Structure 1
Amino acid sequence: MTKKADAAKRIEELRELIRHHDSLYYVETRPEISDAEYDRLVRELKALEAEHPDLITPDSPTQRVASQPVEAFASVEHKVAMLSLDNAMDPAELREFEARLRRALPGADFEYVCEPKVDGLGVALLYERGRFVRGATRGDGRVGEEITQNLRTVKSIPLTLRGALGQLRELEVRGEVYMPRAAFAKLNAELEEAGESTFANPRNAAAGAVRQKDPQITARRPLDIFLYHVSHADPFPFKSHWEALEGLRAGGFKTNPKAKRCRDLDAVTAYCQDLELERDALGYDADGVVVKVNSLEQQRRLGATAHHPRWAIAYKFAARQGTTRVLDIRINVGKTGALTPAALLEPVELAGVTVSRASLHNEDEIRKKDIRVGDTVLIERAGDVIPYVIQVIASKRPPGTEPFRMPTHCPVCRARAYRPEGEAIWRCTNAACPAQLKERLLHFGSRRAMDIEHLGEAVVNQLVDRGLVTDFADLYHLTVEQLAGLERLAEKSAQNLVDAIRASRTRGLARLLNALGIRFIGERASQLLANHFGSMERLERAIEDEIGEIYGIGPQIAQSVVRFVSESANRKTIERLKQAG
């Protein structure tokens, strides 16, 4: 055997050894060798590959971390849409979920699989002939961002599959990338010591790491993953969800060891209640339990809505609660002129997050609960996300407090505010209100709209305050020189923003309709309108009756669209957007 052949044989032996020990350490958490022994294997492999660079393959354990940053994330269309989940807040809603199943499939018996609902970032992984070829974020459910280079750095994601899964022509699986709590605490301590900004919670840290342009930074973040779903396979080898989880484990994937097969709804309810009691001991953030019908044939027959599969539901844990004091009530001005009150609070920690603001929703909500500045209140984070006030602790109310009254003028532009008949929201009457414009621009550039990276709050504030942007179309005429004149925006950052704005021209009609901030128009309605009309020109010519006849739209949305496109200022903006490409 030649020296080259000997090297090739040893390289393959080392790769298999390292993959084996990676799986034991990162997936099964039962290492067989010491770190020093593992490092020796990696060093030997690197040395041999350096000596024989023509033998390096993309799936080698040494090739997890790319050397060059990416310029931008490409868009990826998922083979199967990554839908949301319907929610159940208590056992009664779980029973209603099963009742819906029985109405859909009369006489059927249902077995379930329960898994912790990990609070991380959903991703889709694509394998061809057992090799990892693409990874993508969930995005809007239909289209995500390709983050393959970053996901390759996550050691618990196998680059090659073993066993039967490795023989499939194609396999797409779904998982949740997360950061363990202990690793998160260590990372924040290191960042703080280095004088860098820390992360608010593990989910933010994981999401930030996964969307890094530089994979080498991602590689330094302590990310992990649980795989929970086979969305596509060619050929498809499983008959139940539980069988799929076992198949994923056999193929080298990490699935949640807390997953459990439940014979009936009583067992599901017991699982949910037990896991809620031990959530703090899990080692990662979880905000509920995902309950799925086990039979894939039953899943197929049950189908899905445009929003969620009918065969699965998320049982949400009770929100975390705490008491604090209302320091002030501030009014926020939204993109459509809505004046929304928010409570400024004495900071309090809920579920690992420091809360200093809470939504008060509207004037009626404040009156009903009689919330006043100075009150001690009970607050909670619903689903561990949005803080809001549950009730006032009246016994702790200090003397001299006064009922809150909504302002009759916009707090930003001082224009008259009014409350339309039949609505709970007060609105600013000035369409040119700077606060509205800032919120509209932030929405326009947001991930689910035109996805303009680097168009953050600090930049938007300066663009509006300096008169550089008065509507959406102005964004597409900004120059590097103009942007470089903004505070804390160097020429390279200015160029990146100009490039991101230019890239947003390709987002498509549905994204644009969502970005325009038309009242009552969200992602789903935007997609329905785009599918029906195909172009902005056709939509502008449409009458209210035609729009209202589209399945899923309705008269309220139709009226709002017609009103929006008929206003001269909006028509002018749309025309300028067309001219900008």
Structure 2
Amino acid sequence: MTSTPSERAAWLRTELARHNVLYYIHDSPEVSDAEYDKLYHELVKLETENPELVTPDSPTQRVGTAPASAFGSVTHKKPMLSLGNAFSADELREFDARAKRHLGLPEDTQEKIAYLCELKLDGLSVSLTYENGLLVRGATRGDGATGEDITANLKTIPSIPLRLVGENVPALIEIRGEAFLTHGEFARINSEREASGEPTFANPRNAAAGSLRQLDHRITAGRKLKVWFYAVGEASGWEPESQRGWLEQLKAWGLPTAPERQLCADIDEVVATVAAWSEKKNTLDYDTDGVVVKVNDFTLQRELGQVSRAPRWAIAYKYPALQVETVVEEILVQVGRTGAITPLAKLAPVSVAGVIVGRATLHNQDEIDRKDVRVGDTVVIQRAGEVIPEVVQVVTAKRPEGTVPFKLPATCPSCGTATVRAEGEAVTRCPNAESCPAQLQTRLEYFVSRNALNIDGLGGERLAQFIDAGLVRDPADLFTLTKEQLLPLERMGEKLADNLIGELERKKNTTLARLLVALGIRHVGEGGASRLAQGFGTLEKLREATVEQLAQVPDVGLTTAQSVRTWLDNNTAFLDKLSSVGVVAQGDEAAPVSDHFAGKSFVFTGALTLFTREDAEATVKRLGGRAAGSVSKQTSYVVAGPGAGSKLAKAEQLGITVLTEDEFAAMLPVSAEE
């Protein structure tokens, strides 16, 4: 029986999709690559001759022709949360104990919680949305709430189905996964880049991220990315009973999942699994930086819930930081926005966990003295949390002769002003805030940063360009820049100039709290800025406030009040200038959403793992309570994490109730945790 072109095209699409599932999901291909290509090219020919036969889920539509001009923004239907971390078996056991406490189980309970262990891939988190089985959108994780639309690039990855197969496919489902490159593909890409004179990628993670953020998705298609899926953000009308059940269902729909996973009957089996996987992680053909441990039962997951940035039912065990030796070639000195003089070790470049490290912070003179770091020393370094390079110790047995202890310079390396170190402080400073070039540079960088005015497109190099050209002498000058001033600058085209000026115009309207952060007043961080904004409402009222009035703002205190008043007095002309160029700061404190914590005051101290401090304080305020910065008789609760110091001691002295972070989280209503 002869089929019509439409029937033949439909059969080819179904057959090619089936072979993709067999190849990428079940690792059991039925046809050779040549036979697959023959079917694919037959479909290409049919669709070329009959354009009306092309469908969105056709495998021929994975790669288009025109590059994108920019990435759009995507708001995730549910936030892509981060996970709390564990670095030892003891911390895994404490995670298990926290879960049991939150479930209301007694401390001596013999009841066990089953966990599913999954490898934590070191790649780029992505989200896919399918409607009626058809892939309609793909996005990066971004900040967890909003990501970038990379649908066209994700469609080029052959293992991602353009249409889900099988039964029980929800009308709407959003799926989370990790995109990555194998070591072999990473080596191939770098070899090609090196041969063509392009800079090579530092590690597979950077290469994967760079590949997915290509405006020309044909470049992405040329790199053999993989994606393994591990979670569902949202699914309409259907849900299995366990995490393992979800992974099995994802696989049944044609979505690839990690082959390494282990169901553990209790936390002891989790500890054993983590130990076994740690031993073999270096034998894998892809990078993994830990193990994700999840409560397997979805009923228990729902009961445990989540806090502001992480679920209570999952934790990421992170492998110990890799330590390597290298040599301190030089100790450099940096000048920060408040004049802080910070020593920095310039190292003989060395690879640490796939990243070439050439510098590490030494913090201050006391830290240098404590570790006795000298130029010429062999030192052990690690990337703390796999991110920040730090010097762990000096290998004194390898110290060459003639080394001398390092001392910070007596004058500022940028402007030559004599440095000062206040009694009781560890930081040495340059007091020349007015005309020190290095302080201007770092003040500008801080002013435009994400937690301040959040001005896109203005990085350190661009700001240095403005300073060198004499265009900017203080942050207010940014808002007076014109297109005519920008166009002569190197690497500045007409479109970029228009974008920068438009962004600066938009950011003239900001909140008082953001502006106070951007001003960089000593002793005023994000929490202090928020409290001052709440206390005074407008910049005009703040400028008129006395030290006594400032100190009456909860948790501001006399030292901060004096610092604010001194800064305001010394910067009257600058504030007037900001106003004259159109910068408007408005009050931004949201009204509480409930009175759950009405009349209660909380102080957070020590390291927090389930929340950031800002998130915890914001949660208290949303629930009608007060988040304080210091302990007093008016404090209701002190929430103490590891490393809590004087605030915890004072709370105990005053007889104030001290909570663990988990006990605080247990006080939250369910609505506050979502």
Which interval holds the TM-score relative to the shorter structure?
0.7 to 0.9
Q: Counterparts of 2:87 and 2:361 in 1: how far apart (Å)?
A: 20
Contact 1:520/1:560, CA 8 A, preserved across alignment: no
Q: 1:389 aligns with which of 387, 391, 416?
A: 391
C-alpha change, 1:159 and 1:288, in structure 2 (3 Å) is: same
Amino acid across the alignment from 2:38? R
Q: 2:188 aligns with which of 183, 186, 189?
A: 186
1:124 is aligned to: 127
When Rg is computed on C-alpha atoms for both structures, the one with the higher figure is 2
Contact 1:509/1:534, CA 8 A, preserved across alignment: no
CA deviations on 1:365-397 (whole Å, 9 max, x unpaired) are 211111111111111223333221111111222
2:655 is aligned to: none
Q: Which runs of 5+ in 2 are unaligned?
A: 106-110, 587-674
What pairs with 1:184-223 in structure 2 (closer than 5 Å)? 184-223=186-225
C-alpha change, 1:576 and 1:502, in structure 2 (3 Å) is: closer
1:115 is aligned to: 118
Contact 2:523/2:560, CA 8 A, preserved across alignment: no
Q: Counterparts of 1:534 and 1:165 in 2: how far apart (Å)?
A: 56
The alpha carbon displacement at 1:27 in A equals 3.9
Contact 1:511/1:526, CA 8 A, preserved across alignment: no
- In structure 1, the residue corresponding to 2:4 is in which secondary structure? helix
1:308 is aligned to: 310
Q: Counterparts of 1:547 and 1:93 in 2: how far apart (Å)?
A: 38
Q: Counterparts of 1:193 and 1:482 in 2: how far apart (Å)?
A: 39
Contact 2:524/2:560, CA 8 A, preserved across alignment: no
Equivalent residue pairs, number: 573
C-alpha change, 1:6 and 1:421, in structure 2 (3 Å) is: farther
Q: Counterparts of 1:111 and 1:219 in 2: how far apart (Å)?
A: 40
2:64 is aligned to: 66
Asked if 1:55 is matched to 2:57, the reply is no
Amino acid across the alignment from 1:271? T
Q: Which runs of 5+ in 1 are unaligned?
A: none
Q: Counterparts of 2:529 and 2:148 in 1: how far apart (Å)?
A: 18
The alpha carbon displacement at 1:528 in A equals 7.5
Structure 2 length as normaliser, TM-score?
0.76
The alpha carbon displacement at 1:106 in A equals 2.8
Amino acid across the alignment from 2:385? G
Q: 1:436 aligns with which of 428, 436, 439?
A: 439
Moved more, 37-46 or 423-432: 423-432
C-alpha change, 1:306 and 1:526, in structure 2 (3 Å) is: farther
C-alpha change, 1:309 and 1:536, in structure 2 (3 Å) is: farther
Amino acid across the alignment from 2:76? H
Moved more, 352-361 or 283-292: 352-361
- In structure 2, the residue corresponding to 1:183 is in which secondary structure? helix
1:232 is aligned to: 234
Contact 1:326/1:377, CA 8 A, preserved across alignment: yes
Asked if 1:573 is matched to 2:578, the reply is yes
Structure 1 length as normaliser, TM-score?
0.87
Contact 2:420/2:428, CA 8 A, preserved across alignment: yes
Q: Counterparts of 1:346 and 1:202 in 2: how far apart (Å)?
A: 22
Contact 1:472/1:577, CA 8 A, preserved across alignment: no
Q: Identity over aligned residues, as a percent?
A: 49
What pairs with 1:24-423 in structure 2 (closer than 5 Å)? 24-107=22-105, 109-166=112-169, 168-423=170-425
C-alpha change, 1:413 and 1:64, in structure 2 (3 Å) is: farther
C-alpha change, 1:533 and 1:120, in structure 2 (3 Å) is: farther
1:464 is aligned to: 467
C-alpha change, 1:397 and 1:28, in structure 2 (3 Å) is: same
- In structure 2, the residue corresponding to 1:367 is in which secondary structure? helix
The alpha carbon displacement at 1:194 in A equals 0.8
C-alpha change, 1:235 and 1:364, in structure 2 (3 Å) is: farther
C-alpha change, 1:276 and 1:153, in structure 2 (3 Å) is: same
The alpha carbon displacement at 1:219 in A equals 2.1
Moved more, 178-187 or 139-148: 139-148
Contact 2:63/2:217, CA 8 A, preserved across alignment: yes
Amino acid across the alignment from 2:467? V
The alpha carbon displacement at 1:171 in A equals 0.9
The alpha carbon displacement at 1:44 in A equals 1.6
Q: Counterparts of 2:415 and 2:483 in 1: how far apart (Å)?
A: 30
- In structure 2, the residue corresponding to 1:364 is in which secondary structure? helix
Q: Counterparts of 2:496 and 2:174 in 1: how far apart (Å)?
A: 36
CA RMSD after TM alignment: 3.7
The alpha carbon displacement at 1:112 in A equals 0.8
1:13 is aligned to: 11
- In structure 2, the residue corresponding to 1:163 is in which secondary structure? coil
C-alpha change, 1:503 and 1:243, in structure 2 (3 Å) is: farther
Contact 1:126/1:172, CA 8 A, preserved across alignment: yes
CA deviations on 1:220-246 (whole Å, 9 max, x unpaired) are 233211111112111141221111111
C-alpha change, 1:572 and 1:307, in structure 2 (3 Å) is: farther
The alpha carbon displacement at 1:570 in A equals 5.2
Amino acid across the alignment from 1:196? E
Q: Counterparts of 1:240 and 1:560 in 2: how far apart (Å)?
A: 56
- In structure 2, the residue corresponding to 1:8 is in which secondary structure? helix
The alpha carbon displacement at 1:494 in A equals 4.7
C-alpha change, 1:92 and 1:153, in structure 2 (3 Å) is: same
- In structure 1, the residue corresponding to 2:358 is in which secondary structure? strand
Q: Counterparts of 1:272 and 1:564 in 2: how far apart (Å)?
A: 54
Contact 1:76/1:144, CA 8 A, preserved across alignment: yes
C-alpha change, 1:512 and 1:222, in structure 2 (3 Å) is: farther
CA deviations on 1:136-155 (whole Å, 9 max, x unpaired) are 22222222222222222222
- In structure 2, the residue corresponding to 1:402 is in which secondary structure? coil
